[in-house]
Homo-oligomer: A and B are copies of this chain.
Amino acid sequence: MQRCALLAQCSDSPSGLTRLFCSDAMRDAHVRLAEWMTSAGLQTRLDAAGNLIGRRQSSIQPARTILVGSHVDTVVNAGWYDGALGVLMGLALAELLQEEQAELPTSLDVIAFSEEEGVRFQTPYIGSRAVAGDLQSDDPLLKRLDSAGVRMHDALAGFGCDPSELDAAAYDPPQVVAFIEPHIEQGPVLERYDAPVAVVTGVAGQTRACFRFIGVSGHAGTVPMNMRRDPLPAAASLVCQINELATAQTGMVATVGQLQVQPNVGNVIPSEVAVRLDLRHLDDQQREACFEAIHQHAVAVAGEHNVDCLLEWRQEQPATRCDGRCMAVLEQSMTAENLTPHLLASGAGHDAVVMAQKFATALLFVRCRGGVSHHPDESVEPADVQAGLRVLWRSINKLAENQRQPQQVVGVS
């Protein structure tokens, strides 16, 4: 917990915590992390994507590797725990292994991913993509500019990384036993369950879309109701319908976070309204069926209100399932610790989404206060972190011990 506070001092902004990819604040954070990692007996290295990795080599060779960690970049004006807690729990685990002088048949790599939030270059998962072999040295993304006009390539080079070595940042999947990401829940469900931790079943798939209703503007006083082509009542009906459809289906979440009215003046009938939908569910088919129902309603209400409706854009992100055997290990560890093994789908994206494409991946949620995240009020209880650490300790040992029996190798499910 103290280290969370110390890391939070590494900020690009004098007020509050903002730590962007390859920034001075990240360099400061790396200095502190590397020091702690070294004290914990880890060998540290900076890979070509700016990931800081601390390795505990197994004394038994050859050995496969268990990866534990999360990201150290943050959103603007962030909390202290999103990302950082997962890295520091990996570090604490390494310290425990050192204290116990454990002789595991696997190596352990504690990873501090360089970029997950996507703030600086408007693209997330840069760090985990490199580790998963999904960001090569010739990727056009390296030419992308940040808001100050700095290319990603040059940001990495300035941070001491050699982007031409990006291919070497990738782990060889057969050599990886599992990746486990401890992370705060960023939602209120564990608080409602009165539980410190949960096993994440997967990360929900997501449809993001924008419906634009186009009508005809006019004077609020002079156009009779029956002559209007007002897009706002149509858009409002869609918002109501989105809410009803999602509420009726277990596990579905649908949000209209952004609604833009043109010209948005009190005495002018709107000409256009854009409704931005964010729809998530762990089951891609259910999500797609729900989206179709929403789309049909949009077209229908547009007709009723004599306005046009365009599905302006639509983006899909399929769901990611966590590895069944890793999940089972986490569940068993919770039961052994007298904790109810709650299963939870994650509605938010994590490095685990990228890692799961190549490695057996699990995600361990730790309760956070009020579900508040991406905000300075982010808060976790030490006891909950301790519970998470005990689960992590048991799970890592179990995963490692399984390596002694080749027939139980945990692979990509």
A152-181 toward B: CB 8 Å interface, digit per residue (1/0)? 000000000000000000000000000000
A143, CB-defined interface residue at 8 Å: no
A107, CB-defined interface residue at 8 Å: no
Binds B, one of A46-54, A59-67, A246-254, A384-392: A246-254
Give residues 226-285 of A contacting B (CB, 8 Å).
Answer: 226-227, 230, 232-233, 235-240, 242-243, 246-247, 252-261, 264-270, 276, 278, 280
Most buried by B among A219, A270, A371: A219
Q: Which residues of B lie under 8 Å from residue A4 when comparing CB positions?
A: none
Binds B, one of A7-15, A185-193, A321-329, A404-412: A185-193
Which of B206, B240, B246 is close to A221, meaning CB atoms less than 8 Å apart?
A: B206
A338, CB-defined interface residue at 8 Å: no
Task: Report how many copies the assembly holds.
Answer: 2
A224, CB-defined interface residue at 8 Å: yes
B264 touches A259 (CB 8 A): yes
A221 touches B261 (CB 8 A): no
Q: Which residues of B lie under 8 Å from residue A185 when comparing CB positions?
A: 222
Give Cα A349–Cα B29 distance, bound, in whole angstroms: 63
A218, CB-defined interface residue at 8 Å: yes
B265 touches A220 (CB 8 A): no
Q: How many residues of A contact B (CB 8 A)?
A: 59
A374, CB-defined interface residue at 8 Å: yes
B347 touches A188 (CB 8 A): no
Most buried by B among A188, A226, A253, A257: A257
A267 touches B278 (CB 8 A): yes
B264 touches A261 (CB 8 A): no
Give Cα A227–Cα B191 distance, bound, in whole angstroms: 11
Instruction: Assess A257 versus B247: contact at CB under 8 Å? Given A220-B278, A233-B240, A280-B220.
Output: no
Residues of chain A touching chain B, judged by Cβ–Cβ distance below 8 Å, are 185-189, 192, 204, 206, 208, 218-227, 230, 232-233, 235-240, 242-243, 246-247, 252-261, 264-270, 276, 278, 280, 346-349, 371, 373-374
Q: List 19 A-B contacts (CB under 8 A).
A: A186-B219, A187-B222, A189-B222, A204-B221, A206-B221, A218-B371, A219-B374, A221-B280, A222-B348, A223-B371, A224-B253, A225-B247, A236-B237, A240-B240, A255-B267, A255-B269, A257-B264, A257-B266, A258-B265
